[in-house]
Homo-oligomer: A and B are copies of this chain.
Amino acid sequence: MEYYSRHISGLIEQLSRLPGIGAKSAQRLAFHIMNMPADQVGMLASSMTQAREKVRYCKNCWTLTDEELCPICSNAKRDHTQIMVVENTRDLAAYEKTGKYEGVYHVLHGAISPMLGIGPDEIRLKELMTRLQTEEVSEVIIATNSSLEGETTAMYISKLIKPTGIKVTRIASGVPVGGDLEYIDEVTLLRALEGRVEL
Protein backbone atom coordinates (compact mmCIF):
# COMPACT_ATOMS: atom_id res chain seq x y z
CA MET A 1 0.00 0.00 0.00
CA GLU A 2 2.89 2.35 -0.70
CA TYR A 3 0.50 4.59 -2.66
CA TYR A 4 -1.12 5.49 0.65
CA SER A 5 1.01 7.39 3.07
CA ARG A 6 2.22 5.84 6.31
CA HIS A 7 -0.57 6.87 8.65
CA ILE A 8 -3.34 5.96 6.23
CA SER A 9 -1.81 2.52 5.55
CA GLY A 10 -1.36 2.04 9.29
CA LEU A 11 -5.00 2.77 10.00
CA ILE A 12 -6.21 0.50 7.19
CA GLU A 13 -4.01 -2.30 8.48
CA GLN A 14 -5.24 -1.90 12.06
CA LEU A 15 -8.88 -1.87 10.96
CA SER A 16 -8.52 -4.90 8.72
CA ARG A 17 -7.43 -6.96 11.73
CA LEU A 18 -10.89 -6.60 13.28
CA PRO A 19 -13.24 -9.56 12.79
CA GLY A 20 -15.56 -9.30 9.80
CA ILE A 21 -13.70 -6.35 8.32
CA GLY A 22 -11.96 -7.18 5.06
CA ALA A 23 -9.48 -5.12 3.08
CA LYS A 24 -12.18 -3.18 1.21
CA SER A 25 -14.21 -2.32 4.33
CA ALA A 26 -11.06 -1.34 6.22
CA GLN A 27 -10.20 1.08 3.42
CA ARG A 28 -13.72 2.49 3.33
CA LEU A 29 -13.78 2.89 7.13
CA ALA A 30 -10.34 4.51 7.15
CA PHE A 31 -11.43 7.17 4.66
CA HIS A 32 -14.62 7.71 6.60
CA ILE A 33 -12.63 8.22 9.79
CA MET A 34 -10.26 10.65 8.12
CA ASN A 35 -13.23 12.68 6.97
CA MET A 36 -14.89 12.73 10.39
CA PRO A 37 -14.55 15.83 12.60
CA ALA A 38 -11.40 15.41 14.70
CA ASP A 39 -13.29 15.50 18.00
CA GLN A 40 -15.53 12.63 16.91
CA VAL A 41 -12.48 10.56 16.00
CA GLY A 42 -11.10 11.36 19.43
CA MET A 43 -14.33 10.15 21.05
CA LEU A 44 -14.33 6.93 19.04
CA ALA A 45 -10.69 6.26 19.91
CA SER A 46 -11.09 7.01 23.59
CA SER A 47 -14.28 4.95 23.88
CA MET A 48 -12.15 1.99 22.76
CA THR A 49 -9.30 2.52 25.17
CA GLN A 50 -11.67 3.40 28.02
CA ALA A 51 -13.91 0.38 27.53
CA ARG A 52 -10.84 -1.84 27.33
CA GLU A 53 -9.30 -0.25 30.40
CA LYS A 54 -12.37 -0.21 32.63
CA VAL A 55 -13.82 -3.54 31.63
CA ARG A 56 -13.91 -6.21 34.31
CA TYR A 57 -16.03 -9.14 35.39
CA CYS A 58 -19.02 -8.67 37.70
CA LYS A 59 -17.91 -10.36 40.93
CA ASN A 60 -21.25 -12.12 41.16
CA CYS A 61 -22.38 -13.20 37.68
CA TRP A 62 -19.10 -12.72 35.75
CA THR A 63 -20.60 -10.68 32.94
CA LEU A 64 -18.39 -7.99 31.44
CA THR A 65 -19.05 -4.68 33.16
CA ASP A 66 -17.16 -1.71 34.54
CA GLU A 67 -18.30 -1.85 38.15
CA GLU A 68 -17.79 -4.35 40.90
CA LEU A 69 -21.39 -5.50 40.54
CA CYS A 70 -23.09 -5.31 37.14
CA PRO A 71 -26.34 -3.31 36.70
CA ILE A 72 -28.39 -6.51 36.75
CA CYS A 73 -26.88 -8.04 39.90
CA SER A 74 -27.20 -4.75 41.74
CA ASN A 75 -30.84 -4.31 40.72
CA ALA A 76 -33.07 -5.22 43.70
CA LYS A 77 -36.11 -5.47 41.41
CA ARG A 78 -34.72 -8.50 39.60
CA ASP A 79 -35.59 -11.97 40.84
CA HIS A 80 -32.32 -13.12 42.38
CA THR A 81 -33.60 -16.64 43.01
CA GLN A 82 -33.66 -17.40 39.29
CA ILE A 83 -30.29 -17.69 37.53
CA MET A 84 -29.96 -18.00 33.77
CA VAL A 85 -26.66 -19.55 32.72
CA VAL A 86 -25.32 -18.22 29.41
CA GLU A 87 -22.09 -18.72 27.49
CA ASN A 88 -21.16 -15.05 27.14
CA THR A 89 -22.23 -11.46 27.70
CA ARG A 90 -23.64 -11.13 24.17
CA ASP A 91 -26.04 -13.97 24.91
CA LEU A 92 -27.04 -12.24 28.14
CA ALA A 93 -27.72 -9.09 26.10
CA ALA A 94 -29.83 -11.10 23.67
CA TYR A 95 -32.13 -12.23 26.51
CA GLU A 96 -32.17 -8.77 28.04
CA LYS A 97 -33.45 -7.37 24.76
CA THR A 98 -36.59 -9.45 25.09
CA GLY A 99 -37.34 -7.32 28.17
CA LYS A 100 -39.29 -10.20 29.71
CA TYR A 101 -36.76 -12.08 31.77
CA GLU A 102 -36.71 -10.82 35.34
CA GLY A 103 -34.18 -13.15 36.92
CA VAL A 104 -30.41 -12.75 37.02
CA TYR A 105 -27.60 -14.40 35.05
CA HIS A 106 -24.41 -16.35 35.29
CA VAL A 107 -21.91 -15.96 32.45
CA LEU A 108 -19.71 -18.98 31.84
CA HIS A 109 -17.39 -17.40 29.26
CA GLY A 110 -17.34 -20.44 27.09
CA ALA A 111 -18.72 -23.95 26.86
CA ILE A 112 -17.24 -27.34 27.54
CA SER A 113 -15.57 -28.57 24.36
CA PRO A 114 -13.52 -31.77 24.37
CA MET A 115 -12.55 -30.92 20.76
CA LEU A 116 -10.98 -27.63 21.74
CA GLY A 117 -9.70 -29.02 25.02
CA ILE A 118 -11.98 -26.78 27.09
CA GLY A 119 -12.96 -28.61 30.27
CA PRO A 120 -15.36 -27.67 33.09
CA ASP A 121 -12.52 -25.88 34.90
CA GLU A 122 -11.91 -23.50 31.99
CA ILE A 123 -15.36 -21.93 32.28
CA ARG A 124 -16.94 -20.13 35.27
CA LEU A 125 -18.68 -23.23 36.58
CA LYS A 126 -17.06 -23.39 40.03
CA GLU A 127 -18.25 -19.82 40.55
CA LEU A 128 -21.81 -20.86 39.67
CA MET A 129 -21.70 -23.70 42.20
CA THR A 130 -20.45 -21.31 44.88
CA ARG A 131 -23.40 -19.02 44.16
CA LEU A 132 -25.81 -21.92 44.55
CA GLN A 133 -24.37 -22.59 48.00
CA THR A 134 -24.30 -19.01 49.22
CA GLU A 135 -27.36 -17.50 47.55
CA GLU A 136 -31.04 -18.39 47.86
CA VAL A 137 -31.63 -19.95 44.43
CA SER A 138 -34.84 -21.65 43.36
CA GLU A 139 -34.13 -22.29 39.68
CA VAL A 140 -31.18 -22.49 37.31
CA ILE A 141 -32.17 -21.97 33.66
CA ILE A 142 -29.51 -23.29 31.33
CA ALA A 143 -29.40 -21.11 28.20
CA THR A 144 -26.18 -22.27 26.60
CA ASN A 145 -26.27 -22.44 22.79
CA SER A 146 -27.90 -25.46 21.22
CA SER A 147 -24.61 -26.47 19.63
CA LEU A 148 -22.78 -29.67 20.56
CA GLU A 149 -20.68 -27.75 23.11
CA GLY A 150 -23.70 -25.92 24.52
CA GLU A 151 -25.65 -29.17 24.97
CA THR A 152 -22.67 -30.91 26.53
CA THR A 153 -22.30 -28.03 28.96
CA ALA A 154 -26.03 -28.09 29.77
CA MET A 155 -25.95 -31.81 30.54
CA TYR A 156 -22.83 -31.42 32.64
CA ILE A 157 -24.27 -28.56 34.68
CA SER A 158 -27.60 -30.28 35.23
CA LYS A 159 -25.84 -33.39 36.57
CA LEU A 160 -23.78 -31.21 38.86
CA ILE A 161 -26.77 -29.31 40.25
CA LYS A 162 -29.31 -32.15 40.55
CA PRO A 163 -27.94 -33.44 43.89
CA THR A 164 -28.47 -29.99 45.48
CA GLY A 165 -32.24 -30.27 44.91
CA ILE A 166 -32.36 -26.95 43.05
CA LYS A 167 -34.65 -26.99 40.01
CA VAL A 168 -32.68 -27.08 36.74
CA THR A 169 -34.33 -26.17 33.44
CA ARG A 170 -33.14 -25.86 29.86
CA ILE A 171 -34.50 -23.31 27.38
CA ALA A 172 -36.73 -25.09 24.88
CA SER A 173 -35.38 -26.23 21.58
CA GLY A 174 -37.33 -23.53 19.80
CA VAL A 175 -33.86 -22.29 19.17
CA PRO A 176 -32.71 -23.83 15.86
CA VAL A 177 -30.09 -26.52 16.32
CA GLY A 178 -26.63 -25.14 15.65
CA GLY A 179 -27.92 -21.59 16.09
CA ASP A 180 -26.07 -18.89 17.94
CA LEU A 181 -28.32 -17.09 20.49
CA GLU A 182 -26.89 -13.76 19.50
CA TYR A 183 -28.45 -13.93 16.03
CA ILE A 184 -31.87 -15.23 16.95
CA ASP A 185 -34.94 -13.02 16.91
CA GLU A 186 -36.58 -12.01 20.17
CA VAL A 187 -39.83 -13.89 19.60
CA THR A 188 -37.96 -17.18 19.18
CA LEU A 189 -35.90 -16.44 22.25
CA LEU A 190 -39.07 -15.81 24.27
CA ARG A 191 -40.75 -18.94 22.91
CA ALA A 192 -37.72 -20.92 23.97
CA LEU A 193 -37.83 -19.40 27.44
CA GLU A 194 -41.55 -20.10 27.89
CA GLY A 195 -41.18 -23.69 26.71
CA ARG A 196 -38.29 -24.52 29.00
CA VAL A 197 -38.44 -28.04 30.43
CA GLU A 198 -37.12 -29.47 33.63
CA LEU A 199 -33.96 -31.54 33.24
A residues adjacent to B (C-beta < 8 A)? 1-8, 10-11, 13-15, 17-20, 24-25, 27-34, 36, 38, 41-55, 64-67, 70-72, 88-90, 92-93, 96, 182-183
Contacts and interface: CB of A to CB of B under 8 A. Distances in A.
A21 to B, nearest CB: 8
Given A90-B28, A93-B27, A49 B45 contact: yes
Given A5-B66, A7-B47, A92-B3, A41 B52 contact: yes
Contacts of A183: 24
12 contacts: A3-B93, A7-B55, A8-B65, A8-B66, A10-B47, A18-B44, A19-B32, A24-B182, A28-B182, A41-B48, A45-B45, A45-B49
Contacts of A96: 3
**How would you classify the secondary structure of chain A's contact residues: helix, strand, loop or mixed?**
helix
A55 to B, nearest CB: 5
Given A72-B3, A93-B3, A52 B34 contact: yes
Instruction: List the 3 closest A-B pairs by CB distance, nearest first.
Output: A45-B45, A3-B96, A11-B51
Given A8-B55, A24-B183, 8 more contacts: A3-B96, A10-B51, A11-B48, A14-B44, A27-B93, A31-B64, A31-B90, A36-B52
A11 B109 CA distance: 20
